[in-house]
Structure 1
Amino acid sequence: MPLYNRRPELVPPPAPAPLGLAELLGYVRLALHQQLADSYWVVAEVAELTVPRFAGAHCYLTLTEQTIDGRGTPLKAQARATLWSQRYQQLAPAFERATGQPLRAGLKLLLRVQVRFHEQYGLSLDVVAIDPSYTVGELALLRLRTLQLLEEKGLLERQKLLALPLAPQRLAVISSPTAAGFQDFVQQLQEAPYDFALTLFPASMQGDEAPASIRAALDGIRVRRGHYDAVVIIRGGGSRTDLLAFDEYGLAAAVGSFLLPVLTGIGHERDEAVVDLTAHRALKTPTAVAAFLVERLARLEAAIFGLGEQVVAQARRQLSQRHARLDQLSGRGRYAAHRQLDNARDALRERARQATVAPREQLRQLGLSLGRFRHQLPRAARRALAQEQRRLRQRGRLLLRRFARHHQKRRETLLRRRYQLQLAMERQLHRAELRLQQLAVSGKH
């Protein structure tokens, strides 16, 4: 007999039959339909948007949200959404009228959506309503943050501190070359009596590419900033949607930090774009910018003419005063000249009198001196003559002695030469005689 009873072994239940994927996804769709409400209000950002290309087409969106899960890890939620054609025809125009801009990527929206799950296409959302007031608030908040950031960096007032030249005529214009506003601007300046040098820097003035295009034009002007007096940013009129590009922070900061004064004529009458607030001066339209420039030159011309008239009047007053002063000085000069002439005549007469007195005195003194010399001259002549006679007698005796010595030396020399000649003649005669004797002896033989 066994010590204990063995329990019967439990037979495991048979495993459920595997489900097909379509059946499983059907369960998911059914569970979602049973657990979720008919629709929900959802806040999400539009990451991508495909606008219908033809009537009857649908609008497809990719909604996203950056969030943090329970463990603090950044999480990016993302879902596909569809705005069916009929609803798109109703919601899109209403949204643009309320917010001033069309549905586009980058907007943060408050949407009412229905959750849809399809076995083939997966999870998606059907957009049934859009609350534009939420987006308006987001845009206003974004504009406020942009203005605060510009103010923190000192870019709202920096352009105002730049000095606009008194006569800005060398203008760098940023605009679309085909824009009607640009043509109006050019025509109004051409009709003005002043000469303006315009250099166009083409740029796209609306759409998502407008901020980058305008910044590129500013970069092109920066390297040649010495050639221009000011920068003009103009575009024709447009809807509020067309002006959203001018609220972009990067473009507003580029305008606020630019080294030349920037004038804007963006073509709006009621609202100011952020670029208008950072520019040196904001005018409503391109023609208003042209009128401002022409009026500035007109005021300068009037001021110059006024100053010219003041200069002429002042010059006339100065000339009149100088003429009066010159007449006064001329009278004083004539009077002083007459006085100087009279004084000179008196001095000349005195000098003439003194000139005649002095020569007379000199002549008298000379006459006295001549009288003394006349008496002294015979005695002086006799003394001089006696001295000269003594000198002549002394020189005569000296010459006589010198002549006697010279005559004695000459006589001795002549006697010596005569003796030498006689001696030489005797020798010659003696030789001749000897020669004759020799000749006579030789003749005999």
Structure 2
Amino acid sequence: MPLYNRRPELAPPPAPAPLGLAELLSYVRLALQQQLAESYWVVAEVSDLTLPRFAGAHCYLTLTEQGTDSRGMPMKAQARATLWSQRYQQLAPAFERATGQPLRTGLKLLLRVHVRFHEQYGLSLDVVAIDPSYTVGELALLRMKTLRQLEEKGLLERQKQLQLPLAPQRLAVISSPTAAGFQDFVQQLQEAPYDFALTLFPAVMQGDDSPASIRAALDGIRARRGQFDAVVLIRGGGSRTDLLAFDEYGLAAAVGAFPLPVLTGIGHERDEALVDLTAHRALKTPTAVAVFLVERLARLEAAVLGLGEQVVALARRQLSQNHARLDQLSGRGRYAAHRQLDAARDALRARAHQATQAPREQLRQLAVGLGRFRHQLPRAARRTLAREQRGLRQRGRVLLRRFGRHHQRRREALLRQRYQLQLAMERQLHRAELRLCQLAASNELLARIKLPNQPVTGQPNKR
């Protein structure tokens, strides 16, 4: 017998009533609303993007993140996200202004999202904010600010408006003389079948001193800019940090405002430095710059050779046309010469006939004129003789009158001279008489002085 009574076996609890899918998903939605905060900042990459196709439409994104699980196995997290129309119109332009690029796939974003769960559409994220500084980083923000300054001053397009010579062979090179990129550039040009004149302006191509060193080299080139066709700025490859010097505003502005075309080959394959944007042409590597210059000369040579062949073909074509034209003109010339010769012969005959008639007529007219002159000559001689005789008589009377007047004037002049001579002689005689009287008085005085005993006439005797 059993030592104790068996307990009655309990009946299993009844199984819970099955839930409908909508009810279960409703529980999930409520649990998420109670357990999760209102919003979260999430870092994710945009793997798919559907932009609005018309005004008022929404933007749909697929966000992903590559990671590992607790066992170290690769894992990819993925979620759908929505930018509603009103927020998209606010966030998308602001993001593009801050980063310089629109929303696109491949960007890594820092987003503030609301977690949403819907029974029909499942889990999704509502994007309420985007932090552009996370996407571009601090250096990228500085780069965008510098880019805007360059654009405001028109330095992004000034170099591109310069005309690069068809054959740039006189090159001013800015580089480090020991850089591998410079050696590759020189070797590439030396292997080319063209002659390049290279002038190296050494500069520091890496570090804090690089922008000032490159600007000093540009100043040296500016002073001799008439000696060069273009400027080549090259360096070897490097990390993104090594290339930060080429994003410096002063260097980019100096390149953009330089009076000669500047070609850059800074040695980066992905990123584009600000110096590349302000330069006339940016190429990836120093070797690419050399290849560009060689290909430019090769194209010019091919164009010149092609033009030479065209000139030769055109010259030959024109020569053949000119030969045919000359043959045609020579035939016309011979025909015209024969016609002109016949016409000249006819004209010569007519002129010969006229030449014989005209002298005869002239001789006849001369004979008639001589006959008239023979009869007219005696009468003309008599008339001329009578006219000359009258003239002689008239001139004789004129001479006689002139001689009488001249004789009268001469006689009067002689009389005046005679009177003047007589007057002068009388004056001389009078002066001579006065002198004689003076001499006589003097002699008398002398005589009295010599005879003192004799009283002087006219004076009383004093005793």
TM-score by structure 2 length?
A: 0.48
Residue 271 in structure 1 maps to residue 271 in structure 2: yes
Matches within 5 A, 1:40-189: 137-189=137-189
Whole-Å separation in 1 of the counterparts to 2:182 and 2:297: 20
Q: Distance in 1 between matches of 2:324 and 2:140?
A: 74
**In structure 2, what is the Cα distance between the partners aligned to 1:146 and 1:290?**
29
Question: Which letter maps to 1:221?
Answer: I
Cα distance in 2 between the residues matched to 1:255 and 1:360: 99
1:334 corresponds to: 334
- Kindly provide the amino acid, as one letter, of the partner of residue 334 in structure 1: R
User: Counterpart of 2:232?
Assistant: 232
Q: 2-side partners of 1:362 and 1:215: how far apart?
A: 101
Provide the secondary structure at the position in 1 that maps to 2:174: strand
Distance 2:186 2:159 in 1: 24
1:354 shift after superposition: 4.2
Partner of 1:259: 259
Q: Distance in 2 between matches of 1:235 and 1:156?
A: 21
Write the distance in 2 (CA, Å) between the matches of 1:265 and 1:243. 12
> Within 5 Å, which residues of 2 pair with 1:353-364?
353-356=353-356
What is the alpha-carbon distance in structure 2 between the residues aligned to residue 349 and residue 144 of structure 1?
101
- One-letter code aligned to 1:304: V
Amino acid at match of 1:155: L
Alpha-carbon distance between aligned partners in 2 of 1:239 and 1:314, rounded to the nearest angstrom: 56
Counterpart of 1:344? 344
Q: Quickly say closer, same or farther: Cα 1:178–1:348, change in 2 above 3 A.
A: same
Which whole-Å deviations, capped at 9, do the CAs of 1:111-147 have from their partners, x for residues lacking one?
xxxxxxxxxxxxxxxxxxxxxx969611111111111
SS of the equivalent of 2:198 reads: strand
Structure 1 position 296 matched with structure 2 position 277:
no
Partner SS for 2:154: coil
Partner of 1:307: 307
Between the aligned residues of both structures, percent identity stands at 88
What root-mean-square deviation, in Å, do the aligned CA atoms of Structure 1 and Structure 2 show? 2.9
Give the distance between the partners of 2:200 and 2:278, measured in 1 at CA. 22
Offset of residue 262 of structure 1: 0.6
5+ unaligned residues in a row in structure 2: which ranges?
1-132, 375-463
Gaps of 5+ in 1: 1-132, 377-445
How far the C-alpha of 1:347 sits from its partner, in A, is 2.2
- 1:253 Cα offset (Å): 1.1
Measure the CA separation in 1 of the matches of 2:204 and 2:171: 19
| Letter matched to residue 245 of structure 1 | A
Alpha-carbon offset, residue 355 of structure 1? 4.4
Structure 1 residue matching 2:178: 3-state secondary structure: coil
Please give the alpha-carbon distance, in whole angstroms, between the structure 2 residues aligned to 1:285 and 1:364. Answer: 108
1:180-202 deviations in Å (ceiling 9; x for gaps): 11011011111111111110000
Which position in structure 2 is the counterpart of 1:286?
Answer: 286
Counterpart of 1:264 in 2: which secondary structure? strand
Residue in 1 aligned with 2:202? 202
Query: Compared with structure 1, are the counterparts of its residues 361 and 241 closer, same or farther at alpha carbon in structure 2 (3 Å cutoff)?
Result: closer
AA aligned to 1:176 is S
Residue in structure 2 matched with residue 316 of structure 1 by the alignment: 316
Structure 1 Cα separation of the partners of residues 254 and 283 of structure 2: 19
Amino acid at match of 1:340: Q
Partner of 1:172, secondary structure, is: strand
Aligned-partner SS, 1:242: coil
